[in-house]
């Protein structure tokens, strides 16, 4: 499915290096479930990349394939230019993984667990002791530092998981649903932390919560039924794939409102509209610029002595674009069999993040 042609890509020499690269990555569980379906994905150094999809879309499986925790049925996954497998300990040394609601050794304490993680990453005692102390303090677990993990709440476990993923000061963070099960304060803390970390690291965050991705990611991949159906910048998604719908609440006579409706039918920029009393839902043809037609509509309303009580636009809302992407994918029907690459969403239109 290609909604519109992708803009020319800059030469590879000016792009940051590829950190994650998958080619036709496919995972089928026991000939029963297709979890990941021919995913071709590239994530470059410095990106904060959101992996978006409904529950069961294959986000967690994709991350586990990238870590070598699961073996691909077909295709391949590379990290930092090298293929990943179950024994790719050297590659995982550069990765910080946070699973959804992490399951951590219940008998260990934050200190002993982080110490073990440090040892697995080959850190010396001189390196890991101060590091674990700083991380425990940073995730606000100092009072529970010597308590067994089995008594921890979801929030505490997630915070410890965050500390574990940062223990080795990784180049790449793979965080799977980091805000799952957190209270509003914990969620805000985590999202702020992701934004902070994204300044210096490549971050991949999976989530089914659109607003979380919207807040912290510059780039986005949408997974649907195991297939990557969109990959590109968040800005592009909002601007070009949304429905361009504007809602008005109008105050005027029925005759004036009918007159306005007639004018709208004559406007080429208006793809369609629906009016119920004073409520008007207006859909523009897909375009990036709606300011001029919008101004003409407002002028027409003023000429007809119609006042505008409120005006709201779903244009630029990720949620709307996301739902539309899913609908378009499903509407594609059997043609999906021939779509081997995701919709390219102008992936390079933003400057490389700092």
Partner 1 sequence: MGWTALLRADLLVLSRSWVLKGWIIVLILTGLVSVGGPLAAARSIPVPASGILATQLDAFLMIWSTVIIVLAAGSVSMETEIIADSILSRSCTRTQYIGAKLLSRMMVIEAVYLIYAATVAYVAWRYAANDMTLATITLGVGIVGLAVLLLSALGVAMSTLVNSTIFAVIGLLLLWYVASPIFTFAGADYLSPASLVRNLPRILKDANAPQIVEAAAEPTSIRVTFSKDVDAATAEQIANYTIEGSTDHRYTPQTAVYDKAKTAVVLGGLNLPPGERVTVTVRGVTDRAGNEISPAADMARTTVRADGNAPPTQAAGAPSPLGRRTTATAPRITQCTAVGGSLRVTFSAAMNRKDVEDPTHYIVECPPGTVRAAKFATWNADSHSVLLSGLDLPSGEQVKVTVRDVRDAAGTPVPKSGSWAVYSEVTPWKYLLGFGIPTLGACALAVLWFSRRDL
Question: Interhelix angle for 291-303 vs 254-266, to 10°?
Answer: 150
336 contributes a contact to partner 1 by CB under 8 A: no
d(CA 274, CA 245): 11
- C-beta separation of 318 from 214 below 8 A: yes
Question: Does the footprint of partner 1 cover residue 67 (CB under 8 A)?
Answer: yes
Is the CB of 56 or the CB of 278 nearer to partner 1? 56
- Does 69 sit near partner 1 (CB under 8 A)? yes
Q: Minimum Å distance from CB 28 to partner 1?
A: 11
Per CB under 8 A, the list member of 50, 99, 186, 342 interacting with partner 1 is: 99
21: left (phi over 0), alpha (psi -120 to 50) or beta: beta
Cβ-based neighbour number of residue 346 at 10 Å: 18
Q: How far is the CB of 114 from partner 1 (least distance, A)?
A: 11
Candidates 49, 113, 248, 322; binder of partner 1 (CB under 8 A) is 113
Question: Is residue 122 a contact point for partner 1 (CB under 8 A)?
Answer: yes
- The answer to whether the beta carbons of residues 173 and 98 sit under 8 Å apart is yes
Check binding of 104 to partner 1 (CB under 8 A).
yes
Helices (H), the chain: 59-67, 89-92, 110-120, 125-138, 154-166, 184-197, 210-216, 234-236, 254-266, 291-303, 318-331
Token look-up 């909604």 returns 3
Per CB under 8 A, 79 contacts partner 1: no
**Does 49 sit near partner 1 (CB under 8 A)?**
no
Q: How far is the CB of 134 from partner 1 (least distance, A)?
A: 18
Least Å distance, CB 179 to partner 1, is 17
Q: How far apart are CA 268 and CA 282, in angstroms?
A: 13
| Of 87 and 265, CB closest to partner 1 | 87
Residue 58 binds partner 1, judged by CB under 8 A = no
Count of C-beta atoms within a 10 Å radius of residue 98:
22
CB 31 within 8 A of CB 92: no
- Interaction of residue 169 with partner 1, rule CB under 8 A: no
Task: Pick the binder of partner 1 from 92, 159, 238, 243 (CB under 8 A).
Answer: 92
Contact 157, 149 (CB under 8 A): yes
Q: Which is nearer to partner 1, 95 or 280 (CB)?
A: 95
Cβ nearer to partner 1, comparing 154 with 339: 154
Closest to partner 1 by CB, 117 or 264 = 117
Token pair of 353 as six digits: 């993040």
Q: Pattern of binders to partner 1 over 8-47, x per CB under 8 A?
A: ---------------------x------------------
Residue 105 in the binding site for partner 1 (CB under 8 A): yes
User: Are 48 and 173 a contacting pair, CB within 8 Å?
Assistant: no
**Which residues does residue 138 pair with via DSSP β-bridges, in sequence order?**
none
Least distance (Å) between residue 157 CB and partner 1: 10
Q: State in angstroms the smallest separation of the CB of 70 from partner 1.
A: 4
Nearer to partner 1, 120 or 279 (CB): 120
For residue 199, give the nearest of 322, 45, 318, 31 by alpha carbon: 45
74 contacts partner 1 (rule: CB under 8 A): no
CB-CB contact of 46 with 353 (8 Å)? yes
Q: Which residues of this chain interact with partner 1, rule CB under 8 A?
A: 29, 64, 67, 69-71, 86-87, 89-90, 92-93, 95, 97, 99, 102-108, 112-113, 116-117, 119-122, 161, 164, 168
């Amino acid at each position: 499915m290609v909604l519109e042609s992708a803009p020319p890509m800059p030469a590879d020499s000016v792009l940051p290096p590829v950190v994650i690269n998958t080619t036709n990555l496919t995972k089928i569980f026991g000939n029963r479930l297709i979890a990941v379906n021919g995913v071709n994905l590239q994530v470059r150094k410095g990106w904060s990349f959101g992996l978006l999809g409904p529950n069961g879309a294959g986000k967690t499986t994709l991350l586990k394939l990238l870590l070598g925790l699961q073996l691909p049925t077909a295709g391949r996954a590379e990290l930092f230019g090298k293929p990943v497998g179950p024994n790719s300990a050297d590659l995982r040394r550069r990765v910080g993984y946070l699973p959804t609601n992490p399951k951590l050794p219940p008998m260990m304490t934050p200190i002993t667990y982080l110490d073990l993680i440090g040892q697995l990453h080959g850190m010396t005692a001189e390196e890991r002791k101060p590091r674990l102390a700083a991380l425990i303090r940073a995730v606000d677990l100092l009072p529970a530092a010597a308590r067994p993990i089995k008594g921890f709440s979801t929030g505490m476990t997630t915070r410890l998981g965050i500390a574990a993923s940062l223990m080795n000061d990784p180049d790449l963070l793979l965080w799977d649903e980091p805000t799952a099960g957190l209270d509003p304060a914990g969620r805000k803390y985590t999202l702020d932390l992701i934004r902070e970390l994204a300044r210096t690291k490549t971050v991949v965050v999976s989530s089914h919560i659109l607003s979380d991705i919207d807040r912290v990611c510059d780039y986005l991949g949408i997974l649907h039924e195991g297939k990557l159906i969109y990959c590109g910048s968040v800005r592009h998604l909002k601007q070009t794939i949304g429905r361009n719908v504007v809602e008005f609440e109008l105050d005027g006579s029925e005759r004036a409102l009918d007159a306005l409706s007639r004018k709208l039918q004559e406007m080429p920029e208006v793809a369609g509209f629906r009016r119920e009393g004073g409520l008007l839902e207006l859909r523009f043809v897909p375009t990036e610029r709606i300011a001029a037609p919008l101004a003409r509509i407002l002028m027409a309303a003023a000429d007809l002595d119609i006042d505008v009580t409120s005006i709201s636009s779903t244009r630029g809302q990720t949620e709307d674009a996301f739902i539309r992407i899913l609908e378009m994918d499903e509407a594609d029907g059997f043609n999906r069999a021939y779509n081997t690459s995701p919709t390219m969403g102008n992936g390079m239109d933003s400057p490389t993040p700092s």
